[in-house]
Amino acid sequence: MSMHMAVVTVLKTLTLLLGSAITLYSFRAYRRTKSPALRALAVGFGVVTLGALFAGVADQLLPVDPQLAFVIESAFTTAGFAFILYSLYAE
Mean pLDDT of 39-64: 92
Instruction: Pick the more confident residue, 67 or 28.
Output: 28
pLDDT over 70 for what percent of the chain? 99
Q: Are 48 and 82 in contact (CB under 8 A)?
A: no
Q: Report the distance separating Cα 85 and Cα 33, nearest Å.
A: 19
Taking the whole predicted model, whether its pTM rises above 0.95 is answered as no
Model confidence at 20, pLDDT cuts 50, 70, 90, reads very high
